Amino acid sequence: MGVTVKINDVDIDNRFVVPYNPLLLMKYQAHINLEFCNKSNVIKYLFKYVNKGPDRVTATVGERYDVGQSSQVVDEIKQYYDCRYLSPSESMWRIFAYDIHQRWPSVQRLTFHLPNQQHVVFDDADITTHVYLCNKDLLTMFTGWMMANRRFSEGRSLTYVEYPGKFVYCLRSREWKPR
């Protein structure tokens, strides 16, 4: 076990010592609890309080009444307010307009399909022939990639997964264009 100390008739050993960093302790003259995280979701763990929704607080505003003054009318609506609480760190984060949530690296879903087996979305009330005629020659992201490889020689050496690094898919025109 190691060295123990008896405080108030209780044996205390090194299990009661919290992790600390002596360099930070001396530099900031304060105890800083230090933890090591090596998980894939470490960012979510470290910034869970920034990403968490705002805390709520019920506050009392008004005069104090003694028990003997119970004959007075008490307006509870004026006394209690449902307020939003922002911690100092969250307040500064919002004042400086830092992003609270971001998606990096950006993720783009690359669709693919076998020849003439692309997905077509339609409502039950749509006329089948109309749906067919509207989607017959429509380029998908995958077929647009093949067409772009015909037009742009610099894209021919790229795989489908590497393509968004050099090209952008325009949803309106349904075609890939160089960045």
Helical (H) or strand (E) element with 5:
strand 5-7
Final residue belonging to a domain, choices 95, 129, 162: 95
pLDDT at 176: 93
Residue 154 located in a structural domain = yes
Is 114 in the same domain as 78?
no
Is 89 in the same domain as 117?
no
pLDDT at 150: 92
> What is 50-84 written as a DSSP string?
HHSPPEEEEEE-S----GGGTTS---HHHHEEEEE
Is 64 in the same domain as 131?
no
Residue 1 located in a structural domain = no
Is 91 in the same domain as 107?
no
The alpha carbon of 54 is separated from its chain's Cα centroid by a whole number of angstroms, namely 15
Residue 2 located in a structural domain = no
pLDDT at 148: 93
Is 11 in the same domain as 90?
yes
Final residue belonging to a domain, choices 37, 64, 95: 95
pLDDT at 151: 93
Taking the C-alpha atoms of residue 106 and residue 170, their distance in angstroms, rounded to an integer, is: 16
Is 172 in the same domain as 118?
yes
pLDDT at 95: 87
Is 120 in the same domain as 86?
no
Residues of the chain with pLDDT under 50: none
Could you tell me the residue range of the domain that residue 83 belongs to?
7-95
Total domains in the chain come to 2
pLDDT at 139: 84
Residue 167 located in a structural domain = yes
Residue 12, SS3?
strand
Is 88 in the same domain as 139?
no
pLDDT at 50: 54
Residue 43 in tokens: 């960012």
R_g of the chain computed on alpha carbons: 32
Final residue belonging to a domain, choices 95, 129, 150: 95
